[in-house]
Chains A and B, each alone.
Chain A
C-alpha cells in the first residue's frame, strides 16, 4: 500500500553551545580558564536531543495526532516534515505535495495586503500564479475576508490571519497537511468550518498531521495518535486511548508532586498550577450553549504545591476574536482567599451571565497577595463556550453584553386645540 510519510529511526539533535562564537568572548573564555588553571572545563557544546529514534508511518487519508507535553518533540517532527530542517540521523520518506501550517501567519508579509499575501503564500507553498488565480475566489470565500482582502495583513486580528492562512493551506488540495495548534486562535464557528474542511480533505486522501492541546479537536479529526515524551515515542494507538493515557500520566505527575515534599516546586509549574477551568450554566440549550440571562459558574481547579497564604484570582472572559469582555478580580470584590498545600476549587458566580450571542472562553490567573504579580507559570483556560442571547448573530456593532433591560416611552402630548407642542416639562416616569 502507498505510504505518504515514513519516519525511520529519526533522531534530531540541537546544539545549544553555538551561541558563544564571538572572538572577544572566546579569548576571555581562554583567559578565564588559564587563570583558573582548569583545563577540563572547556567550552562544552551542550546538545539537546529533540527526537530520539522515532518511527512511524502515515498512509493516504490517515490523520495522525501528536500528543505530548511542551518540548516533547511535536514541533520538531513538523519541522522535519516541512523540510525546514534535516534529521541528525535516520531517514524520512515523503511522497506528495505538502502544505504546512506551522505557525500563525508564517509566510505572510505584514505590509502586503491579503490579496498579495495569498499569492505570496501560495507561491511559497509551491503553486504557480495561474493555479492560485483559479483558486483565489475559493480561498477568499473560505476565509470570509472579502471586505478586508485589500487591507495590509498587519491590520488583521490574529483570528483573521489564521483564517487566511488556513484558507490558503487547505484550498490548494495538499496531499499532506501539517497543522500546528494554530486553530486554537480562530473562533469556534471557524474551527467547525476547518474541521469540516479537514474531514473533506481526509476523504479525498490527504494525510494530516495534527498538533493540538485541544483533545476534543484531536478526537474529532484524527484516527491515530502518537504519544511523545522527551523526544521518544511512548505509545501509539487510537486518539481515545492515547489521550486517556496522557491525562492519566499528567494526573499521576501532579499527584506525585503533591505527595513529594522534596520536589514541591519547580520552574515548570511554579508553586501553584491551574489544572482546569470549567464553565457551567444552570440551564443550557440543547446544543450545549449557555443562556445569557441565566446564572453561570466558573470553576478554577488548582493544585498548590506549598502553602501560599493569601492570594488573589483574576478571571478574564474573552471573546473568540480576542476581545476581553470583562476582568473579574477577587481583590476588587474583597474576596479573601488563602491557599494551603493541596488541591481545591475556586468558584466564581455570574448571576446572570449577560453576554451576547457568541463564543467565549475564560482565562484564570493566580496572583500574589498584593494582586500585582502572577504566581502561575501558565494561565488556566477553559474550553470555548457558546452563549445564546436574544440576538442570534452578532456584528461588530452589537457590543459585548446584554444587561437586564426594560424600556418605556413617554411622548410629549400636543396641547389641546392649536396642534403645537406644549412647552411644558416632560413628565418623568418614576423608575422603580
Chain B
C-alpha cells in the first residue's frame, strides 16, 4: 500500500495532466461548461424541494429544505458521478492500457479528481445559499470539512478502483453500478433527515458509510455541532472497503492488457 502511494506520488504530474485532460474533454463541446457542476445539484434540489415541502412534507426543523437537501446532494453527486466515471475509466482507455505502461490507478483516480472540481464549485454555491438562508457558520467546520471529505474520497477510491477493474472483465458492472447507486441514494440521508429512520434500525442504517459521512456534513454545515460517533464508524468501514478495493485492483491490473 505504501509502495503504491509512493508510485502515485511519483506520477503526480501524470495524475494532474490526466485530470486536466478529463476536465477539458468534459467541457470542450458543452455550452454551459462548468456551470453544470451547479446546475445538476440545483435542479435536483428544486425538484426535491417541491415534492418534500408541498406534496409530501418532510420535517427538517428550522433548516429550510433547499439548504437541508443541497448539503447532502453535493457530496452525493461527487460520489455518484465519480463512481460512474471511474468504473468506465479503464475500459474507455483500453487503447492506452494495452500499449503503454503507467500506474493504472491513474485512470480511475484522475476521473475522481476531475469530479472533485465540480464538488468545489457546488460547495461554493452552498456557502452562498447558507448566507442567503442565514444559516450561521460553525468555525470547527474548517477542520472537519476537509476531514470528512478525505474519508469520503477514500471511500470513493476504494469502490471506484474495484469497479473500474471489475468492469474490464464484466461490463455488467456498469449497469449494476447504476442500479446500486439508485438504491444507495434512498438508503442514505439525502432527501430525509436521519430522525425519520426508526431507532431500532439505526445501527444497521449506519453500516452504510455514506450515512455517517452525509450526516456529518450536515452536522458541521447546518446544525453547528460536532459529528457523532457515526463518523468514526464510517471511517472504519471506509478503510475496510478501501483496502479490499485496492487489493483487488492490484491483483488483477496485469490482466487488463490480456483481455482482448
Contacts and interface: CB of A to CB of B under 8 A. Distances in A.
Contact of B257 (A85, A106, A123): A85
A177 interface: no
Nearest to B98: A84
A132 B99 CA distance: 21
Interface of B is mostly: helix
B259 A124 contact: no
B259 A18 contact: yes
A109 B95 CA distance: 10
B170 A21 contact: yes
A102 B95 CA distance: 11
Contact of A109 (B14, B21, B100): B21
B17 interface: yes
Contact of A84 (B10, B13, B101, B170): B101
Interface residues of B, number: 26
A85 B13 contact: no
Nearest to A81: B101
Contacts of A103: 99
Contact of A106 (B11, B28, B99, B169): B99
A243 B28 CA distance: 50
Contact of A111 (B18, B28, B101, B102): B28
B258 A14 contact: yes
A260 interface: no
A106 B169 CA distance: 22
Contacts of A86: 254
Contact of A124 (B10, B14, B170): B14
B252 to A, nearest CB: 11
A296 interface: no
B96 interface: yes
Interface string A121-164: 00111111100000000000000000000000000000000000
B25 interface: yes
A102 B96 CA distance: 11
A130 to B, nearest CB: 8
A82 interface: yes
Interface string B94-114: 011111111000000000000
Interface string A73-108: 000000100111110000000000010101100110
Contacts of A126: 10-11, 102
A360 interface: no
A359 to B, nearest CB: 28
Contact of B21 (A84, A98, A120): A120
What 4 A-B pairs are tightest by C-beta distance, nearest first? A106-B99, A123-B14, A83-B101, A86-B254
Interface of A: 14-15, 18, 21, 79, 82-86, 98, 100, 102-103, 106-107, 109, 111-112, 116, 119-120, 123-129
23 contacts: A14-B258, A18-B259, A21-B169, A83-B101, A84-B97, A84-B101, A85-B255, A85-B257, A86-B254, A106-B95, A107-B96, A107-B100, A109-B21, A109-B25, A112-B21, A112-B24, A116-B17, A116-B21, A120-B18, A123-B13, A124-B102, A126-B11, A129-B13
Given A82-B100, A85-B254, A124-B102, 14 more contacts: A14-B258, A82-B99, A83-B101, A84-B98, A84-B99, A86-B254, A98-B101, A106-B95, A106-B100, A111-B25, A124-B14, A126-B11, A129-B13, A129-B17
